[in-house]
């Protein structure tokens, strides 16, 4: 066994934002195994203070270019709970549709662009596009439909504009919904091909028993509202989220860690699958079987397989919702009224692609936000990733250092962390002669 292993991955690739993995093994003993989050804190909570409640969902939707609908929806639910707003059945259905658009968009990107290259032996999706263009084109085709679903329901591909406190400011036409219905029916073949492709991947066998946390609803595999459930037993109302998250600071990370019954817990697709797989649509259940998933599953790498299962579920659920809306007919309606009460507080929770998300606001009598708290899924997963790494490293000590590093990177990527949602400069290098 090698006496000394020193893995220092500075800037983890294919995750959102900046994180480092640092592993030190001395004299055969694991001395250090940390996932360092070096991203600058972004102070969104402070940014919200003093702003009118109507702006909160628009500001927080910009927290993330991927989870824009998720943040906006959690924000709206927090505001609505604070202001005593009850959205209509139509609003609930339209929000679910937008949420599915985003869930599909995010899962397709993660599975195809960030995970598949690891298994297919290429460094990123760019060489994959050369060696397997049909695979990448399928991903982009599915992604376009998810984006179009968001655009039609909430006004644009990303950063929704048509969702507001108590309802919508824009409504899809019947022909919009009919066309979507037709395109979703046609995309089922791509879903089947996706399940087929990911069924061929050699998922690592590593497993570690852990606690899973997700939102549960009595009658569906849902993503918006419900109660917080733990695989260790019991459920709690979302208002009690602080009892679950128990955020604490960590010396090596600018992100806080969370723990409920144990030292850490996992959120995201695998957590949802483990807690409510019985509520999946039949095609998604068949996908799980094809991918070798069975609950309880303690193999974190299979979080990506659970994402593929959720792709199948969301496509079928979208078709079901479109059928309901087409049967009912979408009626333009005014947003439900609000009641301003001094110091009113509300909590909103959604299970976004990466896991359970909480927003809590206190809103003053003039409608200005006095306090905000947002707890994102990646923050909740960080402690669990580290404990996985600490369990995994001792099993890898005989392998070359490069391979250890790669397996650790793959483990972190499996959690689909979103460390930062950042700007995107166009970094331009001018070809000779084009200067000036």
Minimal distance, residue 92 CB to other proteins, in Å: 25
Minimal distance, residue 429 CB to other proteins, in Å: 5
Which is nearer to other proteins, 95 or 157 (by Cβ)? Answer: 157
CA pair distance 281, 315, nearest whole angstrom: 10
* Helix or strand (DSSP H, E) at 164: strand 163-164
CA pair distance 305, 85, nearest whole angstrom: 37
Structure tokens at 341: 């009460």
Which is nearer to other proteins, 322 or 421 (by Cβ)? Answer: 421
Which is nearer to other proteins, 113 or 228 (by Cβ)? Answer: 113
CA pair distance 26, 34, nearest whole angstrom: 15
As to burial, measured by CB atoms within 10 angstroms (0-12 exposed, 13-18 middle, 19+ buried), residue 417 is buried
Which is nearer to other proteins, 250 or 422 (by Cβ)? Answer: 422
Closest CA to 214 of 182, 181, 192, 241: 241
Q: DSSP readout, 330-381?
A: ----PPPP----TTEEEEEEEEETTEEEEEEEEE-TTSBEEEEEEE-HHHHH
Q: Where does 11-132 have alpha helices with state H?
A: 44-48, 53-61, 68-82, 89-108, 116-119, 125-131
Under a CB-based contact definition with an 8 Å cutoff, are residues 430 and 321 in contact?
no
Which is nearer to other proteins, 1 or 43 (by Cβ)? Answer: 43
Under a CB-based contact definition with an 8 Å cutoff, are residues 299 and 411 in contact?
no
Minimal distance, residue 107 CB to other proteins, in Å: 12
CA pair distance 344, 185, nearest whole angstrom: 44
Which is nearer to other proteins, 129 or 336 (by Cβ)? Answer: 129
Closest CA to 210 of 408, 19, 21, 391: 391
Which is nearer to other proteins, 23 or 187 (by Cβ)? Answer: 187
Which is nearer to other proteins, 327 or 426 (by Cβ)? Answer: 426
For residue 237, list its beta bridge partners.
Answer: 227
Minimal distance, residue 12 CB to other proteins, in Å: 9
Minimal distance, residue 168 CB to other proteins, in Å: 19
Minimal distance, residue 121 CB to other proteins, in Å: 15
Minimal distance, residue 167 CB to other proteins, in Å: 22
Minimal distance, residue 176 CB to other proteins, in Å: 17
Q: Which strands make up the sheet holding 19-26, listed edge to edge?
A: 5-9, 19-26, 29-37
Minimal distance, residue 123 CB to other proteins, in Å: 6
Q: Using CB under 8 A as the criterion, which residues of the chain lie in contact with other proteins when the complex forms?
A: 11, 13-17, 40, 42-44, 47, 59, 62, 65-66, 68, 105, 109, 113, 123-126, 129-130, 133, 136-137, 140-141, 143-144, 147, 156-159, 420-431, 434
Minimal distance, residue 318 CB to other proteins, in Å: 17
As to burial, measured by CB atoms within 10 angstroms (0-12 exposed, 13-18 middle, 19+ buried), residue 428 is exposed
**Burial per residue of 331-342, b for 16 or more beta-carbon CB atoms within 10 angstroms, e otherwise:** eeeebbebeeee
Give the CA radius of gyration of the chain.
Answer: 22
Which is nearer to other proteins, 155 or 367 (by Cβ)? Answer: 155
Which is nearer to other proteins, 205 or 427 (by Cβ)? Answer: 427
Of the CA atoms within 13 Å of residue 173, those in its CB half-sphere come to 3
């Amino acid at each position: 066994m090698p006496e000394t292993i020193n893995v220092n991955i500075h800037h983890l690739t294919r995750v959102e934002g900046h994180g480092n993995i640092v592993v030190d093994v001395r004299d055969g003993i694991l001395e250090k195994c940390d996932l360092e989050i070096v991203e600058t804190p972004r102070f969104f909570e402070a940014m919200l203070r003093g702003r009118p409640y109507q702006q909160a969902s628009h500001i927080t939707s910009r927290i993330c270019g991927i989870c824009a609908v998720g943040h906006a929806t959690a924000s709206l639910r927090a505001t609505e709970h604070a202001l005593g707003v009850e959205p209509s059945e139509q609003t609930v259905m339209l929000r679910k549709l937008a949420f599915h658009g985003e869930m599909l968009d995010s899962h397709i990107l993660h599975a195809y662009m960030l995970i598949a290259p690891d298994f297919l032996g290429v460094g990123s999706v760019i060489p994959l596009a050369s060696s397997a263009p049909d695979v990448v084109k399928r991903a982009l085709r599915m992604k376009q439909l998810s984006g179009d679903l968001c655009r039609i329901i909430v006004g644009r591909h990303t950063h929704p504009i048509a969702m507001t406190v108590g309802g919508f400011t824009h409504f899809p036409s019947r022909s919009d919904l009919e066309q979507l219905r037709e395109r979703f029916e046609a995309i089922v073949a791509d879903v089947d091909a996706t399940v087929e492709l990911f069924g061929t991947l050699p998922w690592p066998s590593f497993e570690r028993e852990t606690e899973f946390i997700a939102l549960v609803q009595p009658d569906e595999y849902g993503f918006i509202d419900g109660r917080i459930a733990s695989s260790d037993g019991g459920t709690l109302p979302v208002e009690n989220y602080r009892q679950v998250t128990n955020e604490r600071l960590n010396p090596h990370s600018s992100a806080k860690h969370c723990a409920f019954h144990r030292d850490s817990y996992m959120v995201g697709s695998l957590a949802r699958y483990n807690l409510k797989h019985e509520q999946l649509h039949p095609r998604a259940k068949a996908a799980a079987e094809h991918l070798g998933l069975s609950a309880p599953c303690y193999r974190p790498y299979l979080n990506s397989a659970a994402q593929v299962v959720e792709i199948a579920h969301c496509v079928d659920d979208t078709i079901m919702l479109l059928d309901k809306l087409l049967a009912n007919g979408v009626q333009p309606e005014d947003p439900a009224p609000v009641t301003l009460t001094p110091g009113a507080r509300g909590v909103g929770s959604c299970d976004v692609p990466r896991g359970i998300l909480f927003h809590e606001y206190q809103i003053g009598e003039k409608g200005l936000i006095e306090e905000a708290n947002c707890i994102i899924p990646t923050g909740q997963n960080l402690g669990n990733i580290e404990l996985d790494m600490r369990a995994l490293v001792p099993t890898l000590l005989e392998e070359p250092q490069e391979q250890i590093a790669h397996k650790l990177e793959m483990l972190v990527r499996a959690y689909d962390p979103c460390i930062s949602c950042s700007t995107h400069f166009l970094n331009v290098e001018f070809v000779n002669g084009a200067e000036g």
